[in-house]
């Protein structure tokens, strides 16, 4: 298949995330509330560029972040050559883009007073071992020691080998649809972790877990030592997968956060705002306000 030359990739790396005017904050505010680190999953800002996402997070006052990989591997960055498909182009981009590109992304967040805590990179069964290994190198260049992933259960042994080698933890994300080989139930997590190293962990999405008919409070308490990332959203328990503003749905957000405070949870609870709105900034701001009230 046609491929881009390293010179072309270097040009992309240098130009796609050119320095933006994010002034470093000498005394950056922290979004640690009552001892609990509150951040955002950048999927909340899926309607905009990475630069605009950073600006929105800074304006809200969020100082922790889980970075959603499609905002890094954007269509503005990955050029699909004639005769190739996007999957092929993405694999080539991952393997050949200099790691300095990802270090530059990390600096953008740092300059805005935001700490990257995890990279959300969802490995799939068709990834080569070389591509998987590169994913861990990307995470290291971003300065994180946690990768969150919406991946099939069956890929866990392959990822565990890389996690043990690099020391980077892979935390698996659950959804509400209970389908074969996908994370949704407590049993799915138990299956994944059985026989695996302690580098295989849980990214608990409390909204999806509740919508699937499970108790996220009890699960969080029972699996506290293996949950290295929380996704916080509000949903109804219905067949329409209805998302709500925080406090208006059925997810026990306040109870989970209060338990995190009581247990001295040391990882980050990330707001993942999934309501489709023209501008999610105010929705995320409102969610953050709800979280602060719940923890105060």
pLDDT tens string 148-174? 999 999 999 999 999 999 999 999 999
> Model confidence over 73-90: pLDDT tens digits?
998 899 898 888 999 999
Calpha distance 170→252 (Å, rounded): 25
- pLDDT above 50 for 248: yes
| pLDDT of res. 246 | 97
List the structure tokens of 35: 């001892």
Q: What 3-state DSSP class applies to 171?
A: strand
Specify the pTM. 0.90
CB distance 250 to 288 below 8 Å: no
Q: Which residues contact 215 (CB under 8 A, 6 or more apart)?
A: none
Between the alpha carbon of residue 170 and those of residues 146, 162, 249, the distances in Å are 6, 9, 29
| pLDDT of res. 28 | 57
Residue 169 burial class via C-beta count within 10 angstroms: exposed 0-12, middle 13-18, buried 19 and up = buried
Q: What 3-state DSSP class applies to 2?
A: coil
Hey, which residues does 146 pair with through a beta bridge? 169
Rounded to 5 degrees, what are φ and ψ at 205? -95, 105
Please tell me which residue, 15 or 140, carries the higher pLDDT value: 140
* Mean predicted lDDT score pLDDT of the chain: 91
- pLDDT above 70 for 5: no
Q: CB 7: neighbour CB atoms within 10 A?
A: 8
Between the alpha carbon of residue 277 and those of residues 246, 247, 273, the distances in Å are 14, 17, 10
Percent of the chain with pLDDT over 70: 91
CB distance 200 to 192 below 8 Å: yes
Calpha distance 73→130 (Å, rounded): 17
User: Domains in the chain, please, with CATH?
Assistant: 30-295 (3.20.20.150)
């Amino acid at each position: 298949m046609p491929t881009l030359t390293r010179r072309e990739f270097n040009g992309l790396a240098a130009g796609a995330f050119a320095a933006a005017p994010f002034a470093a904050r000498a005394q950056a505010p922290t979004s640690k509330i009552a001892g609990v680190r509150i951040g955002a999953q950048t999927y909340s800002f899926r309607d905009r560029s990475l630069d605009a996402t950073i600006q929105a997070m800074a304006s809200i006052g969020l100082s922790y972040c889980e970075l959603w990989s499609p905002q890094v591997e954007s269509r503005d960055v990955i050029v699909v050559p004639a005769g190739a498909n996007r999957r092929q182009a993405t694999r080539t981009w991952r393997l050949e883009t200099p790691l300095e590109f990802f270090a530059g992304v990390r600096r953008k967040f740092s300059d805005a007073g935001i700490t990257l805590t995890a990279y959300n990179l969802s490995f799939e069964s068709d990834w080569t071992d070389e591509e998987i290994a590169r994913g861990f190198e990307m995470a290291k260049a971003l300065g994180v020691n946690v990768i969150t992933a919406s991946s099939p259960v069956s890929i866990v042994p392959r990822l565990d080998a890389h996690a043990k080698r690099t020391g980077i933890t892979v935390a698996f994300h659950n959804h509400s649809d209970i389908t074969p080989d996908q994370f949704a139930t407590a049993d799915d997590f138990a299956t994944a972790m059985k026989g695996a190293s302690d580098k295989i962990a849980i990214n608990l999405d409390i909204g999806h877990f509740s919508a699937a008919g499970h108790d996220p409070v009890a699960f969080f308490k029972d699996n506290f030592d293996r949950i290295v990332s929380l996704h916080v959203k509000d949903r109804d328990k219905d067949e329409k997968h209805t998302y709500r503003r925080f406090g208006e749905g059925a997810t026990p957000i306040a109870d989970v956060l209060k338990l995190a405070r009581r247990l001295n949870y040391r990882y980050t609870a990330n707001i993942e705002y999934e309501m489709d709105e023209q501008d999610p900034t105010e929705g995320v701001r409102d969610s953050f306000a709800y979280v602060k009230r719940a923890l105060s």
